[in-house]
């Protein structure tokens, strides 16, 4: 993947990606405030950042250097913060994660690579730490309470030894004119080269379309050089859902289990279709809130009495300048009335309603009433339906165009066309970056986006009913 990535045209980040970068830069700037005497390495006197770093390190006057750059060709690395310690240097990487999040090993790898390159330039690194966000931080507190320094020196030194042993051969493979021998793994799912240039090139369906295939089975297929779904050996035991996916993909026909009809018949009318939007930013948006706190901001509800009846719509969108979750919860309880199934897609809505129950204990009863009426269309599809165009995924992005291929359900015609963009626009309103007339326009665009989500469920429900019949 790295070999192809090195040669691919650079892709500009989308709006949500740019917003994440902007927030990361803000966190970096706040981290620098912890070291008031620090200096930023920059291009000056015709010198590169690596040359400037060498000067700053050598002259002994700077205690702390930001954005220090190390060049040990062909490797280059930048340390967010480099500060003198016990006659050597302390390397710190600023990250917008909490210390108990599950991607910490990746962050340690990132830090280890930086330390490896600095050590290769001869810098005596005596400590390596991650500067992470504190769970205790609350909106409005100072930067001194925002971070926690997590010493990772022990783990980093072990990784540096491993990286050092592998780095030169990896560099040689990366700069070789031909890509290394490809090897099938679950990571191939995220690789842009998979279908275009690598293992799946020219294949109609691949083994990665088998949903939730155990990694040991994938390892076996990889070892046997089997990438084409049609070549999967019969003795590779597949469960019912995996077999359904394989049969459907190879036959080119959708597959519907007889049980679908019973499940759909259990839906109680009037039927409601519910979708939420939330916002979460690195730094909290509202009083009392923590970093990364997820805040419910919006809902859309469609409702109908039968498949032939009208589909009235109701909605709520918070004022971005304040936490409106109580208002939203009350509007939700009113919009969903007291009887009939509430159709959602995935368990996201259930999780958010449960969070509201914790936040607003006085509304626990009516909110529990909503939870008890939820019907998850995602689970119904996973257990009963497969279409070759799902390509192994049951996300709404795959399922909707496969089962309801109408032009009027296209998100591409909307100004806001995905969840990340919706979060970004709302966050920008909350931070005052969208102001004036643009607020009314953005609110309208957010409402249209969320409305299409529930209308899509209306159409999906109809389609499933027809398929079951
Ligand atoms: S498809 Fe898999 S093997 Fe090929 S480059 Fe991508 S990750 Fe590597």
CATH number of 2-174: 3.90.320
Nearest Cα to Cα of residue 253 among 381, 387, 382, 405: 387
Tokens, residue 215:
């990694």
d(CA 413, CA 293): 31
Give me the pLDDT at residue 411, please. Answer: 83
**260-468 has CATH 3.20.20.370 classification:** no
For the CA of 191, the nearest atom of ligand 1:
6
11 three-state secondary structure: coil
Which residue among 176, 189, 193, 223 has the greatest number of ligand 1 atoms within 8 angstroms of its CB, and so is best to mutate? 193
pLDDT tens readout for residues 8-50: 999 999 999 999 999 999 999 999 999 999 999 876 677 899 9
Residue nearest to atom 5 of ligand 1 (CA): 1
Residue 312 has pLDDT above 90, yes or no: yes
- Band (408; pLDDT cuts 50, 70, 90): confident
Give me the pLDDT at residue 44, please. Answer: 66
Please identify which residue in the block is written with the tokens 């504190």. Answer: 134
d(CA 224, CA 15): 42
What residues does 316 pair with on adjacent strands? 299
Residue nearest to atom 2 of ligand 1 (CA): 188
d(CA 79, CA 118): 9
Across the range 188-215, mean pLDDT stands at 94
Instruction: Indicate whether residue 191 lines ligand 1 (CB < 6 A).
Output: yes
Residue nearest to atom 8 of ligand 1 (CA): 1
Give me the pLDDT at residue 377, please. Answer: 97
d(CA 182, CA 187): 12
Which residue among 191, 208, 221 has the greatest number of ligand 1 atoms within 8 angstroms of its CB, and so is best to mutate? 191
Domain ranges across the chain: 2-174, 206-233+240-250, 260-468
Across the range 356-377, mean pLDDT stands at 98
d(CA 176, CA 154): 34
What residues does 344 pair with on adjacent strands? 376
Tokens, residue 226:
């089997």
pLDDT tens readout for residues 320-330: 999 999 999 99
Q: How far is the CA of 213 from the centre of ligand 1 (A)?
A: 17
Is residue 129 within 8 Å of 149, Cβ to Cβ?
Answer: yes
40 three-state secondary structure: strand
Percent of the chain with pLDDT over 70: 99
d(CA 86, CA 110): 24
Look up the pTM and report it: 0.93
Nearest Cα to Cα of residue 133 among 94, 105, 103, 106: 94
Across the range 255-271, mean pLDDT stands at 96
Give me the pLDDT at residue 407, please. Answer: 65
């Amino acid at each position: 993947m790295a070999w192809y990535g090195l040669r691919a045209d650079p892709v500009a980040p989308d709006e949500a990606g740019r917003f994440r970068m902007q927030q990361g830069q803000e966190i970096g700037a706040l981290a620098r405030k912890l070291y008031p005497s620090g200096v930023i390495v920059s291009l000056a006197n015709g010198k590169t950042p690596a040359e400037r770093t060498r000067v700053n390190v050598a002259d002994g006057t700077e205690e702390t250097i930001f954005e220090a750059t190390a060049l040990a060709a062909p490797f280059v690395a930048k340390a967010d913060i480099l500060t003198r310690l016990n006659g050597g240097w302390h390397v710190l990487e600023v990250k917008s994660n909490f210390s108990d999040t599950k991607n910490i090993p990746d962050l340690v790898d990132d830090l280890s690579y930086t330390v490896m390159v600095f050590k290769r330039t001869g810098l005596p690194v005596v400590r390596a730490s991650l500067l992470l966000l504190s769970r205790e931080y609350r909106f409005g507190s100072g930067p001194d309470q925002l971070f926690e320094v997590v010493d990772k020196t022990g783990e980093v030194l072990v990784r540096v030894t491993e990286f050092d042993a592998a780095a030169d051969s990896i560099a040689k493979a990366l700069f070789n004119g031909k890509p290394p021998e490809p090897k099938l793994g679950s990571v191939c799912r995220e690789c842009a080269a998979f279908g275009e240039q690598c293992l799946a090139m020219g294949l109609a369906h691949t083994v990665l379309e088998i949903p939730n295939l155990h990694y040991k089975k994938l390892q076996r297929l990889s070892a046997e050089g089997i990438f084409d779904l049609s070549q999967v050996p019969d003795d590779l035991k597949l469960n019912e859902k995996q077999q359904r996916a394989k049969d459907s993909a190879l036959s080119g026909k959708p597959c519907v289990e007889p049980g679908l009809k019973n499940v759909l018949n259990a839906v109680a009318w009037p039927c409601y279709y519910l979708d939420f939007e939330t916002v979460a930013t690195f730094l909290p948006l509202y009083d009392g809130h923590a970093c990364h706190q997820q805040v419910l901001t919006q809902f859309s509800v469609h409702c109908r009495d039968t498949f032939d009846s009208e589909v009235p719509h109701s909605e709520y969108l918070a004022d971005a300048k304040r936490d409106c979750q109580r208002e939203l919860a009350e509007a939700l309880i009113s919009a969903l009335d007291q009887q009939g199934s509430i159709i959602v897609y995935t368990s996201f809505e259930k999780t958010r309603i449960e969070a509201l129950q914790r936040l607003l204990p006085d509304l626990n009863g009516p909110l529990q009433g909503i939870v008890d009426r939820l019907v998850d269309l995602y689970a119904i599809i996973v257990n009963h339906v497969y279409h070759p165009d799902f390509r192994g995924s049951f996300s709404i992005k795959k399922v909707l165009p496969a089962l309801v291929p109408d032009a009027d359900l296209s998100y591409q015609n909307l100004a806001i066309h995905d969840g990340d963009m919706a979060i970004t626009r709302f966050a920008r309103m909350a931070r005052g970056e969208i102001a004036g007339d643009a607020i009314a326009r953005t609110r309208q665009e957010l409402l249209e986006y969320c409305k299409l989500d529930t209308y899509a469920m209306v159409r999906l429900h109809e389609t499933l009913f027809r398929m079951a019949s």
